Amino acid sequence: MSPIVASIIKGTVALLWVVLNALFLVWFERKVAAWIQNRMGPMRVGRWGWAQTIADGIKCLMKEDIIPLAADKPLFVIAPMVSVASAVLIWIVIPFGPGKSGVFSDLPIGIIFIAAVTSLSVVAVFMSGWGSNNKYALFGAMRGAAQMISYEVALVMSILGVVMLAGSLSLQDIITRQTEAGILGWYLFRQPIAFIIYVIAALAELNRAPFDLMEAESELVSGYHTEYSGLRWLLFMLAEYGHMLAWSAIAASLFMGGWTGPGLGALAGRIPAFDLFNYGIWPYLTGFFWFAFKTYLFIFLAMWLRWTLPRVRIDQLMDLGWKFLLPVSLVNIAATAVLANVWGWYAK
């Protein structure tokens, strides 16, 4: 197969993965919110309202496309493209299963690629806010840019601790490194501080409550996408949920061993017939199951937090990022260096 054709197939699969999961996640988020608030959530379209998001998507597709006269048209049009592109691009390096075939393309610079691509979403937010030529949108975008760059520093510094232990930037290597010592080898247990910083900073990167200052419905009329309506708005939502899925998958890969987990093949010693689960497509299916399970654990955590915690104030947000998370992550790097090398902790 020529490399271009292979790339097109992979890209289409990644796009479908993001779109289908976003469809499901919107419904799931509404259901989780409803359960937490003791409501029913969407119930009308299909059983338990499962087709609600599809119906909403069709509705948005039929809506008139409005570009305000005052808007900077090129910026306004390009912003959703950048946002969606960054949500799809992250998936290149995230492993779904074992080996080379378990990941779209295991770039050796994995982590740095993720940091670079996710930064594109800041650009998209700012393009849309500035391009809308609307005061709410501009305020939302300025806040969003300040918030996202502040937390990105803490995020990158927290992942550094994981990279020190794993000795590689490729997510596939980081996952296999973790499993060498069984479940206690997970960086969730070996880098607990990095894990907590990662979760907080990732929520801030995603602009989800309690850090959803740039959208802040009550003060900014949904911030940077105030002027976006219909399908363009839907594309922003798609990218937002795509990013949420990606950050959860990265969390699962970095801290919880990603796709690794016990499969039916582990029982082969007792039931010889189960040996079949160790070959062919089965390791990939088991890997995908554990990958999806751990990813959705993190997604549920993010939703749970969103519907539980009130929004923080902007000065509290900036203080938390710069005056707490960043110093703590610097200390974490130093502590990891000392514990790992001087005192020989974390030896395999």
Partner 1 sequence: MASQSYIDVGMFAVIAIGFVVVSMWLNRVVAPFHPDRAKLESYECGEDPLMDAQINFHIRYYVFALTFFVFDVEAIFMYPWAVNFRNFGSNALFVIVEMFVFLVILALGLAYAWRKKVLQWV
The residues in 84-143 that bind partner 1, with binding defined as CB under 8 A, are 84-85, 87-89, 91-92, 104-107, 111-112, 130, 132-138, 142
Supply the minimum distance, in Å, between the C-beta of residue 97 and partner 1. 17
Mention every residue, 6+ apart, whose C-beta is less than 8 A from residue 261: 286, 287, 289, 290, 293
**25 close to 241: Cβ distance less than 8 angstroms:** yes
Strand ranges in 54-177 using DSSP code E only, listed in sequence order: none
Which DSSP state fits 311?
Answer: P
Q: Based on the shown chain and the rule CB under 8 A, indicate whether residue 245 belongs to the binding site for partner 1.
A: no
Residue 192, both tokens? 């607990």
Site for partner 1 in 52-71 (CB under 8 A): 61-71
Q: Based on the shown chain and the rule CB under 8 A, indicate whether residue 328 belongs to the binding site for partner 1.
A: no
> What string marks each residue from 157 to 176 as x (binds partner 1 by CB under 8 A) or -?
x--x--xxx-xxx-------
Site for partner 1 in 249-268 (CB under 8 A): none
Distance CA 207, CA 197 (A): 15
Supply the minimum distance, in Å, between the C-beta of residue 233 and partner 1. 11
Among 20, 81, 271, 276, binds partner 1 (CB under 8 A): 81
Supply the minimum distance, in Å, between the C-beta of residue 218 and partner 1. 13
Q: Based on the shown chain and the rule CB under 8 A, indicate whether residue 337 belongs to the binding site for partner 1.
A: yes
By beta-carbon proximity to partner 1, the closer residue of 79 and 303 is 79
Residue by residue, DSSP assigns 35-63 as HHTT-----SSSGGGTTHHHHHHHHHHTS
192-200, 269-277, 298-306, 339-347 -> range binding partner 1 (CB under 8 A): 339-347
By beta-carbon proximity to partner 1, the closer residue of 39 and 323 is 323
Distance CA 94, CA 54 (A): 27
Q: Based on the shown chain and the rule CB under 8 A, indicate whether residue 20 belongs to the binding site for partner 1.
A: no
User: Phi and psi at residue 229, in whole multiples of 5°?
Assistant: -140, 170
Residue 341, Cβ neighbours under 10 Å: how many?
A: 11
Supply the minimum distance, in Å, between the C-beta of residue 168 and partner 1. 6
Q: Which secondary-structure segment (H or E) carries 159?
A: helix 135-166
Q: Based on the shown chain and the rule CB under 8 A, indicate whether residue 235 belongs to the binding site for partner 1.
A: yes
Distance CA 85, CA 80 (A): 8
Among 318, 328, 335, 339, binds partner 1 (CB under 8 A): 318
